[in-house]
Structure 1
Amino acid sequence: MKRFFTIGMAGHIDHGKTTLTKALTNVDTDRLKEEKERQISIELGFAPLYEDDELQISVIDVPGHERFIRQMIAGVAGIDLVVLVVAADEGVMPQTREHLEILGFLGIKQGIVAITKMDRVEEEFIELVQDDIREELVGTVFEGAPFMLTDSLSLKGIAALKEKIICTLKEQDTRDVKGEFRLPIDQVFSVKGQGTVVRGTVYEGAVEEGRSLTILPKGLEVRARQLQVHHKQASAAFAGQRVAINLAGAAKEEIQRGDVLVSSEHFAVTRTIDVSMKVVEDLEYMVKQRMPIKCHIGTAEVMGRIVFFDRNDLTEEREEVLCQLRLDNEIVAKRGDRFVLRRPSPQETIGGGWVIDPIGRKYRFGLATIEELDKKKIGTPEQRIIDVLTEEKCLSVGELVLKTSLDEGTIKDLLQNEPFVQVNKSDYTLKKLQLLIEEEIYDQLNDFHQMHPLKQGLKKAELLQSLQNHYPKALLEFVINKGEETGLFIRNGQFIRHQHFNPHVPSNWQKRTENMLLSLQKDGLQVAYFTDYYNAAGLPDHLQGDLKKFLKDSGEIVPLDDVFYLHGIHFRDAVERLKQQTADVFDVGEAKEILGLSRKYMIPFLERLDTLGMTYREENKRVWKK
């Protein structure tokens, strides 16, 4: 399966991130007029770096100036690898150090150091620069990261850096494309004639063109009208990809950076989150109980207060601190999501960490709360199983042992509890997931019935195929079978429909269909071509195939061959007359005399009797089956 990654350029202002991005991608990511005039990056810049049959890599050029730190956090929060850009003639600067701390808080584990502007310093000075940078990186996520010497203007080292990025990502695990789709929005704009467009990096899952989605925390129902990846239309976008989505159902003014586009209701919308955090090494001001903070999580930037349960202030602390963030506005969060905290005034990065529980409660001050948060941080055995099954959908006991680090006996005992459902002899899922899939299937069937009211239902194979990108086949089969047992779904051969649907002629074509059948009935057994009746009734061409099949299945018409159809009443009457007036064996001549049909209609009529299993041919005669 093709894998998708997004890398970020980070570093001090004027160290050459944008120029390096252009050298690597041949794209100038400074597109705003102010950026051109001031020669600094204000907004996030994006460019395609590399693509082959197995890999697609995009680049985010994040602003380096202190005033644009929030854009930097929004951009870097969705990346898989960071290229730390350090100018050879300046080395590590204060902004570089702050970026390093932020990258650590955001859980970035892969990094490459690109030393730029190497043509500006003497060759013998390069080694000293590298030693200085290496010393500054001790204790950061870039300790031990490879160094690449580059010059973006002469293009020295650019090819080697690009190859290093590609090779590093080929060895790296990709994001989860099986989970529920989640895209934190970092840009919103409108395009004339198209409407609202949002951009972001897909955190997890996948999205397809035409998919119904929800914008959280507002709860706006929208549809992905069109997708673009690097200005090229795409039918789908996957975890790790930068994507622009043209949305139907929401105006630009209703959406903002920090909103999250999701495919499921199973994402927490919250104002209170329990967190594990660490503070920066050189904290300039004391962090006090309930002091205002600015929380950056995903692409959201939210004011709030920090609440401690074991202290009233924080100055120097090298270990993690378990605490709570109470925010002024709702955010979308999951366990494990990373965040960065900044002081609003005077502005500085305080620290960062990860979300223990996105739905925090009110706790008492004291050690008991810290112990509770510590247990929650580790996760109760049942919650760990729930978390894994939420992501993986359906797993065996053995797979759960590997993914939860719980013993087999504990897992088997816990799987007897209410949140879990046994799918087959070996696999388990969550009850809430079963109900969610039931709802998705019902909605999909309902959409199909509205589009094709004449059809018996959707083919089971097509239904499975449409959902197998999101759920295992065994789980889908289980949900369908359970739905049949409860009467929610009804299966007729290979077709499935929901309980409230029966095939029918659309109301706007019902009268014309009745007129067509009356004309057909009026002509008895001497019928014209079926298309003549159809066209004379003024019925649309696109409906003919489905309507013909519906009328055949309901017995209202009976085909003699591909072009002649009898009204069901006349066909059944003719069969009954033939049965009453012939012996067990009869020939064509007898049938013609009884029904008064010419050979043009008689032969197809008798062949239809054979096809329906009423008669069989024996030389030149027909024999009634008993």
Structure 2
Amino acid sequence: MIIATAGHVDHGKTSLIRALTGVETDTLAEEVERGLSINLGYAFMSQGSDETLGFIDVPGHRKFINTMISGISGVDMGLLVVAADDGPMPQTLEHIDVLEILGVARVCVVVNKVDRVDPSRVHEVLQQVDALIQPRRWPAHRSFGVSSVSGDGLDDLKDHLISTAAAHQRLRNSGGFRLSIDRSFNVKGVGLVVTGTASAGEARKGDPLELLPGGQSVRIRHLRANSQEVEHASAGQRVALAIAGKVSLKEITRGDWLVAPKAPPPALRLDVEVSLLSNAPFPLKHMAPVKLYIGAKRLAARLAHIDTPEGPLKPGESCLAQLILEHPISSIWGEPFLVQDHAETRILGGGKVLDPEGPKFGKARRARLCWLRALQTSDAQSALLQLLEAQLTVNLSRFWAIRNHRQVPENVFPIDEVREFQRDGTTWAVAEKQWQSASRWLKHHIDEWHREQPKSLGLKMTSLERALAHSFDLPLGLAVVEVLLRSGSLAHKEGHISRKDFQPAKSQQTLDHWEKLKAQLQRAGTALPLLTELLAQAQVPDSLAKQAIRLGMGRGELHELNNHRYALPSQLLHYYEHLSLAHDQGEALSVVVLKARFGTGRNLTVEILEHFDRLHLTRREGNVRVLLARANVQRALGVEP
């Protein structure tokens, strides 16, 4: 469990950690000289098992509030330290705000330096701090009076921390590994090293990782957790990673992320839920400039309101918003953040990330608002059911990816209430009643088209997609089309979708032209003419030939060998019988042999054989054909049995 100190400067945070762990966290010469923490300090205390308590000593001075914010992000407990002689100070309140905004689950109050005052003063300060903490998110907090110098109260505090850690439950290996880098440096003989607090997942020596936002691929060479060389590290541990890859120290900045491969990509827009502190100095207008703190990263942003009431966001209010960033960053659902005013003089509020890839347009549309409001729900299954009840088609692959899951979990929904389907490698889900509604709509829409356009082959797929997009989410509509095509309810011919049994109405003129073409082909016997010759012989105008040919093919009475030649089923059956006879007599089914058997030229022989290949009656192997199963010949050719 990771514990971070918080509190006003010179209230004894560093000395308290030293008394608890025996580790001096002020390591910079300037820190030792001034007695003032500038950088984050780290110390660890064994619990007598494989588990370790980790302490982050964050600076309390106003000048170093940015460092304090980066150190406190993602910890499990806040150790609020208040000096008994001074009592609560302005930065005490500010640090309490930071702990609450960043969602720190537990707080323990420590009134330090009790050796300097009488017991009544200790009691008074404890009451003052309890009054500050009670209205916040930690009404069940514990308070202790201690002295880092004399050791008074330290054993009770230590016992409490150890017992809390023993009961603490963290999903250490849940999801992909994530670590926000707070320090990076080169070590002679080791190479490039980065440090941070692992916020999710698990990493092992040799694992591949990605450095974001740059996207460089790296590999873990060595790994230290809680100041010890280890083979693997988990969420909730302080980690130092020696990494190898095509990356240099100058390419890494504070707040970059090391993540497991295939994590959500960096983005310039984060959709969030944000709250202003009740004591925020001023409201925030739409597109107000702010400083954003997320993980160990600090950067400029603008806060765009999504669903605020009229006017600016007032102190104490919350809303859905979009943070528009100056640089892309990596994030996931639930990541806490904090915002200050642009000049970085006051903490204004904070919240958590809902969608780490917010859209540039349409962020206030109904479907988008339903998506974000569902993401405000902590329980994933409840959020999904909320989306399905809103009649949305849910991209499950993305829903779970932004929650840092490597794949879509199985058996999340009742099988008879929710339909899952795949499209282009993406898993989707929709309520079964919504699926059935889309299916009924689609059938009705195509029936109406046939009624209004009786001569048309059906709806072009592009037109159908546009119609579907107006009534349903397009992935749902296309999935329904695919299922109905597979089931035989719909047919797809020449780029058109129709009911399977539908035949377009033809004019008498088109019927007459088809009969002329059919009769001329029958007269041609086995000498299949080119289309231009056929039209001239049948006296069918070029402008009307296409409709007549389409009618013959739609009836299954005509085969298209290519754009220039057509054949009747009976003609193709004649050629197939000669091919089959050559096979039975042991002849090689080459073009040369079959050309003689067919009594045709080379070009026509090749065209016939390629058509047989498409019908899966033959298969080309080198310069010869292999005869496939003959049981389906009549059906494949459309010959009446």
Q: Is the 8 A contact 2:397 2:427 kept in 1?
A: no
| SS of residue matched to 1:326 | strand
Aligned equivalent of 1:77: 73
Instruction: Indicate the larger mover: 356-365 or 371-380.
Output: 371-380
Aligned equivalent of 1:374: 373
Aligned equivalent of 1:391: 405
Residue 407 of structure 2 corresponds to residue 410 of structure 1: no
Residue 346 of structure 2 corresponds to residue 339 of structure 1: no
Residue 365 of structure 2 corresponds to residue 351 of structure 1: no
1-structure distance, mates of 2:170, 2:375: 27
| SS of residue matched to 1:356 | strand
Q: Is the 8 A contact 2:41 2:56 kept in 1?
A: yes
Q: Is the 8 A contact 2:293 2:337 kept in 1?
A: yes
2-structure distance, mates of 1:366, 1:177: 35
Aligned equivalent of 2:285: 288
| SS of residue matched to 1:288 | coil
Residue 231 of structure 2 corresponds to residue 235 of structure 1: yes
| SS of residue matched to 1:203 | strand
2-structure distance, mates of 1:71, 1:81: 18
Shift in alpha-carbon separation, 1:384–1:115, aligned structure 2, 3 A = farther
| SS of residue matched to 1:19 | helix
Q: TM-score, normalised by structure 1?
A: 0.62
1-structure distance, mates of 2:355, 2:348: 21
Of the candidates 99, 104, 113, which is equivalent to residue 100 of structure 2? 104
Instruction: Indicate the larger mover: 239-248 or 21-30.
Output: 239-248
| SS of residue matched to 1:23 | helix
Shift in alpha-carbon separation, 1:161–1:219, aligned structure 2, 3 A = same
Question: Which structure 2 residues correspond to residues 402-481 of structure 1 after superposition, within 5 A?
Answer: 409-411=416-418, 413-414=419-420, 419-420=426-427
Aligned equivalent of 1:445: none
| SS of residue matched to 1:391 | coil
CA RMSD between the two structures: 2.5
Of the candidates 119, 128, 149, which is equivalent to residue 115 of structure 2? 119
Q: Is the 8 A contact 1:182 1:202 kept in 2?
A: yes
2-structure distance, mates of 1:138, 1:51: 29
Aligned equivalent of 1:360: 358
Give 1:296 deviation, angstroms: 0.6
1-structure distance, mates of 2:89, 2:20: 24
Shift in alpha-carbon separation, 1:254–1:19, aligned structure 2, 3 A = same
Shift in alpha-carbon separation, 1:166–1:286, aligned structure 2, 3 A = same
What are the Cα deviations for residues 529-577 of structure 1, in whole angstroms up to 9, with x where unaligned?
Answer: xxxxxxxxxxxxxxxxxxxxxxxxxxxxxxxxxxxxxxxxxxxxxxxxx
Of the candidates 5, 8, 17, which is equivalent to residue 4 of structure 2? 8
Identity of aligned residues (%): 33
Give 1:421 deviation, angstroms: 10
Question: Which structure 2 residues correspond to residues 435-584 of structure 1 after superposition, within 5 A?
Answer: none
Of the candidates 179, 182, 203, which is equivalent to residue 183 of structure 1? 179
Q: Is the 8 A contact 1:6 1:81 kept in 2?
A: yes
Gaps of 5+ in 2: 378-382, 389-393, 430-641
Question: Which structure 2 residues correspond to residues 161-240 of structure 1 after superposition, within 5 A?
Answer: 161-240=157-236
Residue 249 of structure 2 corresponds to residue 252 of structure 1: yes
2-structure distance, mates of 1:408, 1:365: 32
Letter in 1 for 2:296: T
Letter in 2 for 1:299: A
Shift in alpha-carbon separation, 1:346–1:257, aligned structure 2, 3 A = closer
Shift in alpha-carbon separation, 1:37–1:221, aligned structure 2, 3 A = same
Give 1:414 deviation, angstroms: 3.2
Q: Is the 8 A contact 2:397 2:407 kept in 1?
A: no
What are the Cα deviations for residues 443-465 of structure 1, in whole angstroms up to 9, with x where unaligned?
Answer: xxxxxxxxxxxxxxxxxxxxxxx
Give 1:73 deviation, angstroms: 1.4
2-structure distance, mates of 1:92, 1:284: 20
Aligned equivalent of 1:262: 259
1-structure distance, mates of 2:410, 2:371: 30
Question: Which structure 2 residues correspond to residues 271-286 of structure 1 after superposition, within 5 A?
Answer: 271-286=268-283
Q: Is the 8 A contact 1:286 1:313 kept in 2?
A: no
Question: Which structure 2 residues correspond to residues 79-158 of structure 1 after superposition, within 5 A?
Answer: 79-158=75-154
Give 1:106 deviation, angstroms: 1.0
Residue 305 of structure 2 corresponds to residue 301 of structure 1: no
Aligned equivalent of 2:586: none
Letter in 1 for 2:289: P
| SS of residue matched to 2:16 | helix
